[in-house]
Chains A and B, each alone.
Chain A
Amino acid sequence: MDLNSLVEPDRIHKSAYTDAHIFDVEMEKIWERTWVYCGHESQVPKPGDYCALTIGRQPMIMVRQEGGAVQVLYNRCPHRGVQLVGNLKGNTGHAFVCSYHAWSFHLDGKVRAIPLAKGYENTRMAPGNPDCDVKRAARVDSYRGFVFASLVDEGPSLTEFLGEACIAFDDMCDRSPMGEVEIVPVCHRVIQHSNWKFFMENQLDALHPSVTHQSTGIAAARVEKRLIDEQGFAPLYYHYLSAFASGFEQWDAVQTINFPHGHGILKAYMGLRPQDPDTLEHENLLKQAYGEQRAEHYLSRNLHHTLIYPYLSVQSPLQQLRCLRPISADKTLSEIWHFRLKGVPEAIYRRSLWYYNLVNSPATMINADDLENWTKAQWGLASNGGDWVSFHRNYGDDREEGGIIYSNHGTSEAVMRNQFRAWLTYMQAE
């Protein structure tokens, strides 16, 4: 497979989205090597608490240890290969016990007991052999409570991998006077009938909202305007929807910043710093905790959302996160989470909850049209109507400094060009 012939600086061959073999290579060379998001520490508060997840094609378990650390194990019994947990989440007590032959394991994966253990004497599986343990992720690390794992020993550290995209978690956590968030224990899971790349490209595609989301933006703007006319104001959540109908020129003025490893940010456009009493109380709490200057720095970050390539979109000002778990070249599971800022007024949670309910729920008035686009894109690319996907807009116009690409236009397809630069590096690694 000649990957160089698929990735040109300004266009990508359609097979990157449709080819089953390329998908397998992506799982092997990207997902099963790089740092992949597992979950938040607050999902597993007590020893034995676990969540099941996938890293690439690998079924994994994130589990809280007796000593307080979080470990990530393969969800596979070393005896006959049966998955150790069959649920998405739960508490396994002090041990995992296999449902087939009752091999049991400590929470760190080490074998605890094997029934009729004498039967293994003088075999490879005699007690003490590490083959009797549940295999662990090669590396587990966390950043401000967000847990990641890598299935290989080599490669950049988590902080090297995240680079400047760690702003996703800093911006979220710094909005709490305690510097911490906790997960809201609900996960919306939505299947996308499309390649994972469409989601990642779409998240920083500032040209599409006023086209794709026109119907919702207009309908919301109408009600928002009527409320303002009648009562002088409209709650912020109407603007969550009406902002999608902003004109092309407005979107073009929103900058994207594109980092190494394919990460990137879309700058703020929604005006999420109103001056109502709840916000002012929140801001005062931050000033008390961090001092005037640092609090102001935290509150004035210019950020709508951050992409951590190739699977995470973090909307830190609204404390939400979407994580992709690819299933096949044309099928992707998205997991959609919301977080609470610790130590802030309930009203701040409720305000961001509107965004979770209106934009990110399975009855979303926004993503319904995105999903339709991506499905049709997947079908379109499977056709013989053309071989290439165009990323030419503002090609040659972007400003690169120190490996970071700043778009001069918000709608520049610099985002996609940067993502494919990272993709090619991953895919061509030995």
Chain B
Amino acid sequence: MNTHDAANKKAAIRPAGFGVAIDVGAELQREVEQFLYLQAELLDGKHWQSWIDLFDDRGVYWMPVSPEQTEWEGSPSIFAEDKLMMEIRRGRVSHPNAWSQAPMWETNHLISHVVFESVEGTTIQVRSRFHMMELRRDTVRHFGGSYRHTLVRDATDGLRITLQRVDLFNGQAAFDYVLQIWV
């Protein structure tokens, strides 16, 4: 029995009705946490292509407008991007005449509350919380919310993202300016 199957045998670790959370063991917990930290550091370091490479070929980055939405296709969204669209966004922000990228601009992500919802075969559902501070010119903006990653194993047993769902807690508040890069 591999570690993933063993994880599924674990009991739920919190009372029913308060969000699914299972104990997957320290090894998988640590591996996935490190993966999420890597993803955040690649964004903060502006390593766009390495960040895109974390996604499976069919991978999707989706920021819905509200928590009730369930399908990334056919929904009004803030982001709804497959890898081709990610490539366009990367190409755009990397272009010397991406005018809005001229001002001083940095982000800083914090990731926490890493909780597993399921492990089925090689598919892992994990949710976490994030807080992103964004500096633009001399102003700091805050974006907070939840990630829900669907992860799979690639040919070398590494983790890849098939769906990253990002629920901003302030996604329906007025945006002061807009977002230019993935949160």
Q: Which A residues fall within an 8 A CB radius of B? A: 184, 186, 188-191, 193, 212, 214-216, 218-220, 222-223, 227, 238, 241, 333, 338, 346, 349-350, 353, 356-358, 361-365, 367-369, 371-373
Contact = CB atoms under 8 A, between A and B. Distances in A.
B98 A215 contact: yes
Contacts of B91: 215, 218-220, 222-223
Nearest to A365: B92
Given A188-B175, A214-B95, A368 B180 contact: yes
A311 to B, nearest CB: 17
Contact of A190 (B100, B102, B103, B175): B175
Contacts of B84: 223, 227
17 contacts: A191-B174, A191-B175, A191-B177, A215-B91, A219-B90, A219-B95, A223-B88, A223-B91, A350-B73, A361-B79, A362-B175, A362-B179, A363-B178, A363-B180, A365-B89, A367-B178, A368-B100
A222 B84 CA distance: 10
Contact of B174 (A333, A353, A372): A333
Given A186-B65, A218-B91, A369 B99 contact: yes
B108 interface: no
What are the 7 A-B residue pairs with the smallest beta carbon separation, nearest first?
A219-B91, A215-B95, A372-B100, A215-B98, A189-B174, A362-B175, A186-B76
A216 B85 CA distance: 11
Interface string B54-69: 0000000001011000
B87 interface: yes
A216 B178 contact: no
Contacts of B80: 357
Contacts of B29: none
Nearest to B84: A223
A356 B99 contact: no
Given A362-B179, A365-B88, 14 more contacts: A189-B175, A190-B174, A191-B175, A214-B97, A215-B91, A216-B88, A222-B91, A227-B84, A350-B74, A358-B85, A361-B76, A361-B78, A363-B179, A367-B178
Output the residue of A227, A364, A372 with the most chain B CB within 10 A: A372
Nearest to A364: B178
Contacts of B98: 215-216, 369
B157 interface: no
Contacts, number: 103
A219 B88 contact: yes
Interface in B22-70: 63, 65-66
A346 B78 contact: no
A368 B101 CA distance: 9
B88 A220 contact: yes
Nearest to B87: A223
Contacts of B176: 191
Interface string B117-150: 0000000000000000000000000000000000
Contact of A338 (B76, B89, B100, B102): B76
A356 B65 CA distance: 12
Given A362-B175, A364-B178, A184 B88 contact: no
Given A191-B174, A350-B73, A215 B78 contact: no
A364 B173 CA distance: 16
B8 interface: no
B79 A215 contact: no
Contacts of A222: 91
Contacts of A220: 88, 91-92
A190 B176 CA distance: 6
B86 to A, nearest CB: 10
A222 to B, nearest CB: 6
